[in-house]
Amino acid sequence: MKKLHLNSLLWAALLMSVASAATADIREGSQVYAKNCEICHAGDGSGAVPDAPNFRYGDSLIRSDTDLFNSISSGKGMMPAFQGVLSEQEILNVIIYLRTLYQ
Ligand code: HEC
């Protein structure tokens, strides 16, 4: 019984740390977005330049994180490459944030 109790405490601590890590990622992602992406993708993700996907409608978001990572990293069409501008972690954070724009 004692062991079970300890286990559930450990689980609670683990779940809390996972939850706060995820929150931090979205917050950092939103800052990366505001600084680097909003100019073309608009604050709400609906797109501010021709050809930009409408993230509010889920455009492009059906694609895997890997595909989105590659597009952001290497650039696509009018979009510049962000490799070397943003760290891999920042790109991953901004992808997590993009997925929250889908209404
Ligand atoms: C100069 C304008 C511009 C900026 C800045 C920009 N984008 Fe884009 N983005 C575009 C355009 C235009 C497209 C459509 C490209 C195409 O399909 O030809 C696009 C496409 C995308 C896609 C879809 C890629 C795919 O493979 O379907 C994602 C995801 C994306 N942008 C995310 C971002 C993120 C995240 C940032 C900031 C780090 C960013 N963009 C900055 C213009 C921009």
CA distance 56 to 48: 12
In percent, the amount of the chain with pLDDT more than 90 equals 77
pLDDT beyond 80 at 60: yes
Determine which residue's CA is closest to atom 20 belonging to ligand 1: 52
Sign of CA dihedral 99, 15, 66, 75: positive
> For the domain bounded by 23-101, which CATH number is listed?
1.10.760.10
**Which atom belonging to ligand 1 lies closest to the Cα atom of 33?**
37
Q: Where are the domains of the chain?
A: 23-101
CA distance 85 to 91: 10
pLDDT beyond 90 at 35: yes
* Selected residue with higher pLDDT from 18 and 98: 98
Return the half-sphere exposure (C-beta side, CA atoms, 13 A cut-off) of residue 16: 6
pTM for the model stands at 0.86
Find the 18 Cα to ligand 1 centroid distance in Å: 29
Determine which residue's CA is closest to atom 19 belonging to ligand 1: 52
Instruction: Tokens for 91, please give them.
Output: 């790109």
